[in-house]
Chains A and B, each alone.
Chain A
Amino acid sequence: MKAMNEMHLNFPSISTNEGFARAAVAAFAVQLDPTVDELCDLKTAVSEAVTNSIIHGYRDTIGKVYIDCKLLQDNWIQVKVRDHGCGIENVEQAMEPLYTTAGDERAGLGFAVMKNFTDKLKVQSKPGKGTTVIMEKAFSPRVRQNG
C-alpha cells in the first residue's frame, strides 16, 4: 500500500529514549486527527515495542532501535519498530500474556498490550539477527463540527 506520508527515526537503546520515541510517533500521528484515547493507545503500544527492543533485544548492550512510520489510506497508521538485537527463539511463547524472562518487575504484558491497543500486529524475529514488530492502527474518521 502506498504511504501518504512517512517518518523514520533511529536512536540508541537507552531507556530515556522510550519517552522520546512514543512522543515522536504521537506527534507524527496527530495529522490523522485521532481522538485523545486513540493517541494514548498508540503511544502505549509504541512504548511497549521500544521497551522490548531496549531490555530484551539489546539486553546489556547498546544498539540502534529503528522506527518506520507510515500513514496509509483510510486513516490507518503503520508503525514498525526494529532492532538488530538478540532476537526471539520462540515468538509464540513470547507473545503469551504474562510470559516474561525479565523477572519480577516486568508484567509480561508487552505483546498483549501491543495486540490490544492496535488493530494489527505482526512480529518477525530471527535469533541472533533481531526483531521487527509491525503494528497498524485505524483512527476513527471524525465528523468536523463546522462541516
Chain B
Amino acid sequence: MEAEEKTETQEKRPVRLLLHEDTLTALLAGEIDHHSAREIREAIDMTAMRVRPAQLVLDFGDVRFMDSSGVGLILGRCKIMEMWQGHVAVQNMPPKLERIVSMAGLHDLCEFRKVEKDESNE
C-alpha cells in the first residue's frame, strides 16, 4: 500500500480508489479532460478488472471541470462493468457539469445519486 505522505499544497490526486465489500469507489478530483482521463481510466480499470466489483461508484464531488472526455470515461466504465454484470453509479455530479451529462443522455444509462460527504473518512 502507498504511504499517504502529502503536503497541504499538493493538488489532490485525480483519482483515489476505495474498496468496501463489493463496491469500488473512485473519488475523482480536479479537471477531467482527454489528458487526465487516461490516468483515471487506467487506475480504475486495473483495480476493477482484478476485483470485479458488483458496483462501481464514480464520485465527481471534487471535480471542478469536465469536458466530453468525462462522458467518455463514464461510458467506458459502463462497458467494462457490463463484462461481469456489474453496475455503475455516478455520485455527487456538480450542478455546473449537469448540462454536459444530460446532453449525452447518461441519465438513461446509469444511476445518478447525491450523498452527503462523510468528513470523518478524510
Contacts and interface: CB of A to CB of B under 8 A. Distances in A.
B68 A19 contact: no
Interface residues of A, number: 25
Interface residues of B, number: 24
Nearest to B64: A40
B76 A105 contact: yes
Nearest to B65: A43
Secondary structure at the A interface, as helix, strand, loop or mixed, is helix
B62 interface: no
Given A47-B33, A109-B104, 15 more contacts: A18-B35, A19-B31, A22-B33, A37-B96, A44-B65, A44-B66, A51-B34, A51-B67, A54-B34, A55-B34, A105-B37, A105-B73, A107-B68, A107-B71, A116-B103
Interface of B: 31, 33-38, 41, 65-69, 71-73, 75-76, 79, 96, 99-100, 103-104
Interface of A: 15-16, 18-19, 22, 36-37, 40, 43-44, 47-48, 51, 54-55, 97, 104-107, 109-110, 112-113, 116
Closest 9 CB pairs of A and B: A15-B35, A107-B71, A109-B68, A47-B67, A107-B72, A51-B34, A105-B76, A105-B72, A107-B68
